[in-house]
Amino acid sequence: MTSLDDLPLRPELRGRTPYGAPQVPAAHRLNTNENPHPLPDELLADLGAALGSAALDLNRYPDRDAVALRADLATYLTRTGGQPIEPGQVWAGNGSNEVLQQILQAFGGAGRTALGFTPSYSMHPIIAAGTGTGWVDGHRAADFTIDPGAAVAQLREAAPDVVFVTSPNNPTGTAVDLDTVAALYEATPGVLVVDEAYAEFARTGTPSALTLLPGRPRLVVSRTMSKAFGMAGLRLGYLAADPAVVDAIQLVRLPYHLGSLTQAAARAALAHTDALLATVDAVKAQRDRIVDALPSMGLTSVPSDANFVLFGHVADASAAWRALLDRGVLVRDVGLPGWLRVTAGTPAETDAFLTALGEIAPDHRTTLGD
Ligand SMILES: *Cc1c(COP(=O)(O)O)cnc(C)c1O
């Protein structure tokens, strides 16, 4: 059998493992932060019609610049972000992961570095490796927040070409305040990417970095339809930035990267934004229910603005993960000692999770500060 070692693989990819949560069968899959609510019936009907009519033109390449879709996305961001966004400021791809990859292709690459504040989204360093971009781990405080003074000092010293700030952060859940984002922007000559995959779940009063875009041409805000919109299977992510950033991405994007069916489906979905986002409050209620239930089990959590909760302290994260799985509940072991991450979904899923956690907590918890 040929192994990777037998292939002339790029040296920096040797020994790496592909991204991926274990896809193990479980009654309750609370490990990948999807929205469990089914799509609204009215959208399903429209999707069929939209895809049918897009199919008539499948002999032709799609709109290379996805002009109509970007206009719809700009309308959505303008409506919810507290900031007018023009279609020329928006770029869309097959999931925000593709958009992030395009950003690194344009602004990172060989001889350049990206910095992200770990623990954070594990795909950022993986996309950096894939684009030949060096990676620097940014520091967080013990409570997983970004200390602005320390972060600014680190950026001045490391001078990365691209900085990632995930807000709300995955896997810890907490949003980063805009003063910190603005200070980080000033501290770097590079591109600052605020990954807002979970923005729609933020607690009331948490503003989006979209409001910081005017006058900051190196600031990029990335979003996705995979989480709050409940359309992870669609693969549609996007960014908002200065139009010059969009021009830069055009230099590296593959021609016709976003298929006509994807563009049509995304536009149909955006026409039902209100119905799609109607589940967000219900999911937030389940998140808060999880947070509120933990102390009575002798457990704690990190404040969450997302659709998941990082909970602890468990003595052995992988043993606790296994004990929950044995009870039919699949959560995520994100590799942080003492912590596990659970996705907030339906009330029934929360019931199952809290029941299982209540059973295992006495054997698996550790005292605070251990
Ligand atoms: C889930 C997630 C994404 C979404 O990626 P898509 O490619 O749009 O599905 C992006 N960033 C973070 C931090 C995430 O957790």
Distance of CA 120 to the CA centre of its chain: 10
Tokens of 279: 């589940």
Ligand 1 closest atom vs CA 94? 7
Q: Are 202 and 305 in contact (CB under 8 A)?
A: yes
Q: What angle in degrees, to the nearest 10, is found between the helix axes of 178-187 and 148-158? A: 20
Query: How does the average pLDDT of the chain come out, rounded?
Result: 95
Q: Is 97 a pocket residue for ligand 1 (Cβ < 6 Å)?
A: yes
Check residue 105 and give its pLDDT. 98
Q: Exposed, middle or buried by CB within 10 Å (0-12, 13-18, 19+), for 79?
A: exposed
Structural domains for the chain: 22-39+275-364 (3.90.1150.10), 41-271 (3.40.640.10)
Model confidence band, residue 205 (pLDDT cutoffs 50, 70, 90): confident
| Ligand 1 contact, 35 CB (< 6 A) | no
Query: How do 191-195 and 28-29 pair as beta strands?
Result: unpaired
Q: Is the pLDDT of residue 12 over 90?
A: no
Beta carbon of 119 within 6 Å of any ligand 1 atom: no
Q: Mapping DSSP to helix (H, G, I), strand (E, B) and coil, where does residue 168 land?
A: coil
Evaluate whether 237 touches 223 at the Cβ level (below 8 Å): yes
Which residue CA neighbors atom 2 of ligand 1 most closely? 197
Q: Is the pLDDT of residue 106 over 60?
A: yes
State yes or no: pLDDT of 370 exceeds 50.
no
Reported as a single tens digit per residue, the pLDDT across 304-320 is 999 999 999 999 999 99
Q: Specify whether the CB–CB gap between 149 and 157 falls below 8 A.
A: no
Q: How many residues would you count in the chain?
A: 370
Q: Is the CB of 307 under 6 A from ligand 1?
A: no
Residue 212 CA, ligand 1 centroid: distance in Å: 21
Distances in Å between the Cα of 281 and the Cα atoms of 37, 57, 258 are 12, 38, 31
Strand partners, 165: 194
Distance CA 107, CA 181 (A): 19
Bridge partners of 113? 134
What separation in Å is there between the alpha carbon of 153 and the centre of ligand 1? 28
Q: Is the CB of 96 under 6 A from ligand 1?
A: yes
pTM, entire model: 0.95
Confidence of residue 23 (pLDDT cuts 50, 70, 90): confident
Atom of ligand 1 nearest to the CA of 224: 8
Question: In the β-sheet with 308-312, what is the strand arrangement from edge to edge?
Answer: 300-301, 308-312, 340-343
Return the number of other C-beta atoms located less than 10 Å from residue 109's C-beta.
17
